[in-house]
Structure formats: C-alpha cells, structure tokens
Amino acid sequence: MTSNSKVLHINDEGFVKNVKFLPSPNYDSRPKNSIISLLVIHNISLPPNKYGGKYIEQFFTNQLDFSEDPYFQKIKNLKVSPHFVITRVGRLIQFVSCRDRAWHAGTSEWRGEKKCNDYSIGIELEGSDHIKYTKLQYEKLNQLIDCLTTKYDIKDVVGHCNIAPGRKTDPGPLFNWDLINTGKNT
C-alpha cells in the first residue's frame, strides 16, 4: 500500500467506517461458529458491459425497475447481495455487514468446504470479463483487503470462478492478480 493511500477501518459491527452504506435486504445470519476466512472477488455491470449509473445499487437493494432494459428481465427473480462494491472510479459502497452472510457466491466450494457464503466476504468490482479494471479499483480493493485481513482471519483471496468453476468466470481473465497486495490469493 502506498503511503498516500487512505487506510480503511472496520468496526466490531462489521461496517467499514466512512463509506456509503446502502442496506440490502438480501442477507441473513451466518451459521453459528462460522469463521470468516475467504474473500471472493466478483464483477458486475448492469446492463452487461455498461458502467456508471444507478442500476447496480438498485439491483442489490431490490429497487431495480426491470422494465428499463431488456436484460433486466433475465435477473428479475434474483435476490443477491455482496458485502461491498467498488465502482470504476474507486468508490466503495457497503451493502451488508461483514458479520452477516451476503448472498453472493451461490453454489460454491473452496478447499473442500461448500457454501462459501457462510464463511466469505463478497466484493464486487464494477466491470466485466471483457475490459480491464481501473487503477482506482485496484487501489481501493487493496485498501479493503488490508482492512479485512486485519480484522478477520482471511486465509485466501479468490475469484468467483475459483469457487464455482464452470459456472462463473468473474472477475475474468483481465483481472490482474499481480496487482493485489496479498500473498494469499490464488
């Protein structure tokens, strides 16, 4: 992390201080005695390959007007959430407390342990498999990883593709794992 990077802090309630919080209704309690040990990197753009705007925030808070784009009909029955989204300009938004189970991983498995939502934190990057992520996104992602690995016993930082191979491809082939400042990723 560079010396001029803003250090993020997380409180005991699982919220990163001084970031925008948009409460998602799409979460529940983690199973008793679950230990947060995994960070999962995703990507999202709504509609696909279009950036900016209000649609991602609306989707994760169940406020998306499904008539605004034909693609939205394909996702209208989904109830999903990440813990965090990092926009193209490096803005961090939190949707679910890290203490709670966000609904980001779906059917998943890591190191023989199924149901990754139970023990992971989901981080969505505004993007797609077809365009490089921005320098600002990598900077904010590294700040967030530093914050979360300080608070929780994170063992691995992986892509959605790693926990749901064959089903998911994100964060995609253009995600540069070498720019992540932890030796824990795969």
Which of 13, 109, 113, 124 is catalytic? The answer is 124
Beta strands in the chain (DSSP E): 20-21, 27-29, 38-44, 84-86, 92-94, 100-102, 109-110, 113-114, 120-126, 156-159
Sign of CA dihedral 64, 127, 182, 8: negative
CA–CA–CA angle 161, 48, 43 (5° rounding): 35
Amino acid occupying residue 74: K
Residues facing 120 on adjacent strands: 38
68 is catalytic: no
Residues known to be catalytic: 124
